[in-house]
Homo-oligomer: A and B are copies of this chain.
Amino acid sequence: MGKAKANKDLSFDFDFLDKLVVGIGEVSQITGIPTRQIRYWEDKGIISSLTEEEGKNRRYNYENIKKMLLIKELTDEGYTLDASAEKVKKRMEMIEETLSKLQKK
């Protein structure tokens, strides 16, 4: 197997992450955050979902999920929810910057 081929398969994962959209149950499984808590955070405006029409199931992309994981990290450390959300904003910007660089490559 050539190294070039392996890299091709891998770089594709950034397209994959881009398409990745999952429901609240999956997010809960992935992050360990209860669905009830995810909805609460959304009610509070801390996070957001992609869902357009109300009544339809919530959909989250990679960025949303990443954000939840970061917030969870910080609240576990002892920060309040609002403080965590504030801090996460800055980290999110970093991540986006990193990802966009890698996508271009």
Q: Which residues of A are at the interface with B, using a C-beta cutoff of 8 A? A: 1, 5-6, 9-10, 13, 16-17, 19-23, 25-26, 29-30, 65-66, 91, 94-95, 97-99, 102
- Given A94-B6, A95-B9, A98-B9, does the pair A29, B25 have CB atoms closer than 8 Å? no
Q: Which residues of B contact A19 (CB under 8 A)?
A: 29-30
Can you tell how many copies of this chain the complex includes? 2
Partner of A97, one of B1, B30, B94, B102: B1
Q: Which residues of B contact A21 (CB under 8 A)?
A: 26, 29-30
A1 to chain B, nearest CB (A): 5
A46 to chain B, nearest CB (A): 20
Top 6 nearest A-B pairs by Cβ distance? A6-B98, A19-B30, A22-B26, A22-B22, A1-B94, A9-B95
A1 to B93, CA, bound (A): 10
Q: Which residues of B contact A16 (CB under 8 A)?
A: 30, 65-66
Q: Which residues of B contact A94 (CB under 8 A)?
A: 1, 5-6, 9
